[in-house]
Chain A
Amino acid sequence: MGMGNACYVYPGAPATPGIVTPNVIFSRGIYMNGSMRFDDGNSVTIWGFTDLAAGQGQADGMGGGSFPSPAMRVTEGQIVHTKLTVGMMWMHTIHHHGIEPSQENDGVGHLSQDVTNGTYTYQWRPKNAGTYFYHCHTNTPLHAEMGMYGGLIVDPKPNPADPVGTKRAFANGPIYDVEAIWAADEIDPAWHTLEWAAGTCGGDVGLNNLNPKYFIITGVDGKTSALTNPGVAVNMVKGQTLLVRYICAGFHPQKIDFGGLTASVVASDGRPLPTPWQTGSIEAHSAERFDCIFKPTITGTWTVTISFYHWRTGAVMGTAKTRITVS
């Protein structure tokens, strides 16, 4: 079976069973010709999702877009529609990683459909506040490596006893003032020349062997740029509380070291921990998330280092760094 040069894909864009009026709608298109430029001047092709409602890109996949893809942010208990529109030239899905909806809305091609030539509306209602992410689940090794992912945050329902604007990690969880989302990923440029269905019909296209050359945090090169990039590096004032949402977005294991700061890890994979875990570093593997609270009591600058370990040898392949500055 196949479609064009794709095999073991399950094209479709059916109606959503049991569809109702949602509280929140995300309209996602795709882009297949974006790019990311690294600190050494080289660049690679990036694919991703666009926000059609914001006028980003087109459903036909041409052009570029933001990397990572636009984040989704919802409140627990809301009925959410994620509308994915894909042209006839490609197939993609959206899997809301860690969200556990019905089979039809889980975004796994062989158990529902790979969206093509139309729109599918994923309907879900998050029960648990926390840190998640969304990614394409079609030819996943390649599509996720190419950049087809974005952050997904579920906030708790506001506590009526809290002052307006209070931000909590989860219901009755810690209050925070400053938030950072660190999606740590690795890039193997050799994979970024492949076409969307590469390998699906057989043949060795190297998808068993990821040899990254670049190490990034939330779409920013971790060699130098992420040390100061305002979308990654944290600047806060003593007395504030920081919530770092760390997402292991690559495929190899990682270790994040907070450079001397102690994290109070309050949740993982969208679930509060029974008791917070005090640690200076975390070992993580692909797709794990950790919600880390920091309450620095002194001013200073701390360098956070994420090491990327080869999944077989355990050797450090590279690092990505950013900073927490407390003034």
Chain B
Amino acid sequence: MERRSFIKLGGASLASAVLGSGLLSWVPRSEAATISKTFYITGGTLTMPDGVGVYFKGFSNSATGLNVPAASIICQEGDTLSITVVNKLAVTHNFVIGGLKAGDPPLASTGDILSGASKTLTYTIPTGKAGSYLFYDNKTSYNVFLGLHGGLAIMPAGKSNQLYSGSPTFVKQQFWIFNDIDPALNSAVQRNTVVPTTFTPRYFTINGLTSLPPGAVGHGDPTRDALYDTRTRLAGFVGDRTLVRMLSAGMCSHAVHAHGNHFEWLTDRGTVRSSVWKKDTLYLRNKLGKIDAIFPFEAPPDAYPPTTHGHFPMHLHDEMSQTAGGGMYQFGSMTEIEFL
């Protein structure tokens, strides 16, 4: 499996609703719609930055591909999700859409999907569920770590620029889905041996990729390098306020640190905060934690002479996450912020 398969994008069957490329594209509708999507549970080996092959599973766009994370879905309150999941692997899996807030039950689930079988989840989204969601497999506690996860954005009905009705506004939006990978777990699953009871992650991804710094093979390739992945990279002119829907699919809690601007912090674990704090570092919890925040694309405030251009990193400040295979600083969970 080529590393490129990490970033295969959404199918063309729902160009308006399923991520096709880059940013989440959204035009609100006055009428509810049915959003249909088929995922195939597949597996394969992907090559890490240090050359080590690691087995992953994913909710993929085809029966022969591997997408980690899955193609994102965007819809609005009132829509009906019709998601068919085909299990191409030898063991039972499932597909659940996590709850909005920490502790909430899942929004919906397929139930068990036996090997070779398929199931369709149908769920009409009620009002009040606007927000960011992780869909994943909870058949085991660790399937989500293997790559069986993706992002679902539910927009407030009729809104194009708000996370929830009345929220601060944005002009663009995207997901950052973080994962932490212990190849010993993935290997045990692949070989059907005893799963470890403790994990030590060795690779750290954002939307399925690691950064590849200048000089590295693949640097600058948006299909391989998280610094340039159009789903991940923040690029905008001053004023291009960008909503980032941050989801933790991994084992570790993270400190999400932006250079260039402070975030406007809107939600924590699905709950709207009572006031908007401006933060350069955000505490993203493990165990399916999530945060919504706006990167405001204001001129970097402390530059002298003043400027409206430049390239800056977003990286996790728990710096272990900036490595691969126990070393290789700058081959971890990092992307780039470009002021155009």
Binding site for B on A (CB under 8 A): 1, 7-8, 10, 18, 20, 79, 95-103, 105-106, 108, 110-111, 123-128, 139-142, 144-145, 198-210, 248, 251-253, 268-271, 273-275, 283-288, 309, 311-314
Bound-state CA distance A110–B255 (Å) is: 21
B221 at the A/B interface (Cβ < 8 Å)? no
Q: Mark B304-319, 1 if CB is under 8 A from A, else 0.
A: 1101011111000111
A142 CB contacts on chain B under 8 angstroms: 329
Closest-by-CB residue of A relative to B339 is A103
Q: Mark the stretch among B54-62, B93-101, B271-279 that contacts chain A.
A: B271-279
Binding site for A on B (CB under 8 A): 50, 180, 198-202, 204, 213-216, 251-255, 257, 259-262, 275-281, 283-284, 286, 300-305, 307, 309-313, 317-320, 322-323, 325-330
Do A124 and B283 have beta carbons less than 8 Å apart?
no
Do B319 and A140 have beta carbons less than 8 Å apart?
yes
Do A252 and B327 have beta carbons less than 8 Å apart?
no
Bound-state CA distance A268–B255 (Å) is: 14
Bound-state CA distance A141–B305 (Å) is: 31
A274 CB contacts on chain B under 8 angstroms: 275-277
B204 CB contacts on chain A under 8 angstroms: 208
Q: Provide the main secondary structure of the chain A interface.
A: loop
Do A285 and B304 have beta carbons less than 8 Å apart?
no
Do A1 and B323 have beta carbons less than 8 Å apart?
no
Do B278 and A269 have beta carbons less than 8 Å apart?
yes
- Least CB distance, B300 to chain A, in whole angstroms: 4
**Given B215, B276, B286, B328, which contacts A202 in the complex, CB threshold below 8 Å?**
B328
Q: Given contacts A140-B329, A198-B327, A208-B202, are A284 and B283 in contact (CB under 8 A)?
A: yes
Q: Given contacts A126-B302, A274-B276, are A208 and B317 in contact (CB under 8 A)?
A: no
Bound-state CA distance A275–B275 (Å) is: 8
Do A251 and B317 have beta carbons less than 8 Å apart?
yes
B255 CB contacts on chain A under 8 angstroms: 248, 285-288
Do A209 and B280 have beta carbons less than 8 Å apart?
no
Q: Given contacts A111-B312, A203-B326, are A287 and B257 in contact (CB under 8 A)?
A: yes
A108 CB contacts on chain B under 8 angstroms: 259, 312-313
**Given A95, A273, A312, which contacts B199 in the complex, CB threshold below 8 Å?**
A312
B323 CB contacts on chain A under 8 angstroms: 141, 199, 207-208
A105 CB contacts on chain B under 8 angstroms: 303
